[in-house]
Structure 1
Amino acid sequence: MTDENKIIEVKNISVQFRVRNRLLTAIRDISIDLYDGEVLAIVGESGSGKSVFTKTFTGMLEANGEIPTGSILYNGKDLVQIKSNDEWSKIRGGEIATIFQDPMTSLNPILTIGKQIVEVIEKHQKVKGRAAKQIAIDLMNKVGIPDSEKRFNDYPFEYSGGMRQRIVIAIALACKPKILICDEPTTALDVTIQAQILDLIRSLQEEYHFTTIFITHDLGVVANIADKVAVMYAGEIVEYGTVDDIFFDPKHPYTWSLLSSLPQLGQRGEELFSIPGTPPSLFKEIKGDAFAPRNPYSMKIDFELAPPKVQVSETHWAKTWLLDERAPKIEKPEIIQNLHEKMLLVSKKDNKRGK
């Protein structure tokens, strides 16, 4: 990717919240580039800062939040410097749209589905009346709502969870965004519906050519949808690379742990792997590597100095002392060795069950 394809450039962003006269640092010095048309997955445990980070792109931080350092360059404008709701309203939705985790909190329960889509079309596409209604029906068809003309006047409670999420996607598409943020859009849905929604997002992304940021704690989802992956821990990106880099050549012990936790790798009669301990308090200053207390491969330096950012390849970097030339050579856990072959085997088994 060249600089010409760059759509967002994040430089040294930090986010803090004032909570009961204490300062919580939710995002710590993140720098990352997002390229036109790609799908970036941001992965990590709950509380790692994934959603907070992307809220800085749409000015949706809570009232007690602030961005003390850094910049987010988009279309020649630094989003950090935008202060007014009028300015944000031009970007939020129309330029950068978000699909949230729970469709029931995204839809107004007292307005019909059709009216909610039409309102967005009238605002962002400057189309009114019958023309707006027809665009709304076309979008409902596009996202797989059966009998969309009949269901145009239904209310959200008359739709299933999966159908409501499809409507939320239709509303996001009605904005014609350049960037679509998908914040855990399948978490509240059962496995079969999750797969359908993921397929829908992927096919729409190919058709409309928007850039996608996909937030998830599930690395299994990432394998099917992403081009690039950013692994977050304690408010920081600790590893970044292509899907193949992260799945088949991971370098950070935290990434090893996330991959080891994949349910697909579980063996009958054996306990699934879980990461020991808990993430650090973000109220306190973090010394060294934030993951060190939970890392079975920690060295003394991990508790003393922040690890350097080491460029593994042109597309891949990680922040870990294990990549220092003086560090002992440690093999990644056995469960994620030959991961490509193991995932192919799981896929074949799943295909057989589906027949």
Structure 2
Amino acid sequence: MSKEKSVLSAKNITVKFNVRDRVLTAIRNISLDLYENETLAIVGESGSGKSVLTKTFTGMLDSNGFVANGEIEYNEKNLLELKNDREWEGIRGAEIATVFQDPMTSLNPIRTIGSQITEVIIKHQKKSNGEAKKLAIELMEKTGIPNAKERFNEYPFQYSGGMRQRIVIAIALACRPKILICDEPTTALDVTIQAQILTLIKSLQEEFSFATIYITHDLGVVASVADRVAVMYAGQVIEYGTAEDIFYNSKHPYTWSLLSSMPQLGIKGESLSMIPGTPPSLYKEIVGDAFAPRNVYAMQIDFEEEPPFFKVNDEHYAKTWLLDPRSPKVEMPEAIQNLNEKMKAMVRNTGYGSNKEGGAVLE
């Protein structure tokens, strides 16, 4: 792919978990690149492996999980060669930081907001207490905390949910990371606050020049922030490309199903589109295309042989037999044809605002 320099490259990653004398394969042979200053969105249903994949980038898999195969190249080193928390210390937080869905799981309820930010600055930037306090207040101001000097010594319970999420972002940025992973960062917030947080992260990304990974099931969020999108299903990336590729020229039936079921595109009085069936068990070996049992376009080969990635263009690939020249030609569902106008209306209604230049919502 003709992109800028890769800041992180995952190659052939397979992740397994030992669960009650059984082995669950959560990630199945994923390769993925993240480029400097870009925003990559990883989307898919719950259980598709989005969070598990990105936890391998920071060595935060649960104790029963392990990377069975692959490598993760970052700054000319293979991160999977790091064996313990002490070895990960120079990467986790310092180089690759994470903003989680619920800020109260990241904040200590019995310590002041200011002390939690300054601790990170002192540890990673080697600043004095006075310097750290000054930088902490500046970060609080940059992340939109009003009266930051006065609120420096307050506790998390004195902040609203949106303000707490801003503090978690400030803590993540206190280390000046090269990569910021946002794991469903706006799910628990109302739509107006969601828009503010998304705008904040984008403005900080432009100021501090870091790459961002969004983990989300909300395609409205994806439309307003992403440069590229990776669609995951049953532990695999099944389609990836630019945001425009995924929204307006997607090729995998699962991507079509996700787009068709966006609640923002629902019409009053009509039933929302749903994806029939359930994802496959990850305890069992998957034969063929994992989505085949739920795919109304499935052919016999989908149940027998795993499809390769077919090239749509230089930046767009999809893992579906429908792209084989021998396959019958099918069109995407009517609900997502001419999606551009519907997406513009959705963005206006959600308050996310128009996407940056090159984004999915085309003006």
What is aligned with 2:169?
Answer: 169
What is aligned with 1:272?
Answer: 272
So what's the TM-score if we normalise by structure 2? 0.95
What is aligned with 2:359?
Answer: none
1:129-165 residue CA offsets vs partner (Å, 9 max, x unmatched):
1111010000000000001111101110111000000
**Residues in 2 aligned to 1:91 and 1:192: alpha-carbon distance in whole angstroms:** 33
What residue identity is the alignment partner of 2:54?
A: T
Q: Percent identity?
A: 68
1:153-195 residue CA offsets vs partner (Å, 9 max, x unmatched):
1110111000000000000010110000000000111111111
**Residues in 2 aligned to 1:236 and 1:65: alpha-carbon distance in whole angstroms:** 17
**What aligned pairs does 1:37-76 form with structure 2 within 5 A after superposition?**
37-76=37-76
Q: CA deviation at 1:347?
A: 4.3
Q: Would you say the 8 A contact 2:99–2:183 is kept in 1?
A: yes
**What aligned pairs does 1:197-346 form with structure 2 within 5 A after superposition?**
197-346=197-346
Q: CA deviation at 1:84?
A: 2.5
**Residues in 1 aligned to 2:23 and 2:172: alpha-carbon distance in whole angstroms:** 34
- Count of residues in correspondence between the two structures: 351
What residue identity is the alignment partner of 1:310?
A: F
What residue identity is the alignment partner of 1:87?
A: E
Over the aligned positions, Cα root-mean-square deviation in angstroms equals: 1.2
Shift in CA distance, 2/123, structure 1 to aligned 2, threshold 3 Å: farther
**Residues in 2 aligned to 1:62 and 1:246: alpha-carbon distance in whole angstroms:** 31
**Residues in 2 aligned to 1:348 and 1:64: alpha-carbon distance in whole angstroms:** 44
**What aligned pairs does 1:123-138 form with structure 2 within 5 A after superposition?**
123-138=123-138
What residue identity is the alignment partner of 2:192?
A: T
**Residues in 2 aligned to 1:15 and 1:350: alpha-carbon distance in whole angstroms:** 36
Q: Would you say the 8 A contact 2:224–2:347 is kept in 1?
A: no
- Gap regions ≥5 residues in structure 1: none
**What aligned pairs does 1:74-153 form with structure 2 within 5 A after superposition?**
74-153=74-153
Q: CA deviation at 1:262?
A: 1.3
3-state SS in 2 of match to 1:267: coil
Give structure 1 regions of 4+ aligned residues with deviation exceeding 3 angstroms.
Answer: 1-4, 345-351
Q: CA deviation at 1:264?
A: 2.2
**Residues in 2 aligned to 1:2 and 1:321: alpha-carbon distance in whole angstroms:** 25
Q: Which range moves more in the overlay, 228-237 or 122-131?
A: 122-131
Q: CA deviation at 1:3?
A: 7.4
So what's the TM-score if we normalise by structure 1? 0.97
**Residues in 2 aligned to 1:34 and 1:18: alpha-carbon distance in whole angstroms:** 29
What residue identity is the alignment partner of 2:335?
A: I
3-state SS in 1 of match to 2:110: coil
1:295-335 residue CA offsets vs partner (Å, 9 max, x unmatched):
11111111111011101100000000100111110000000
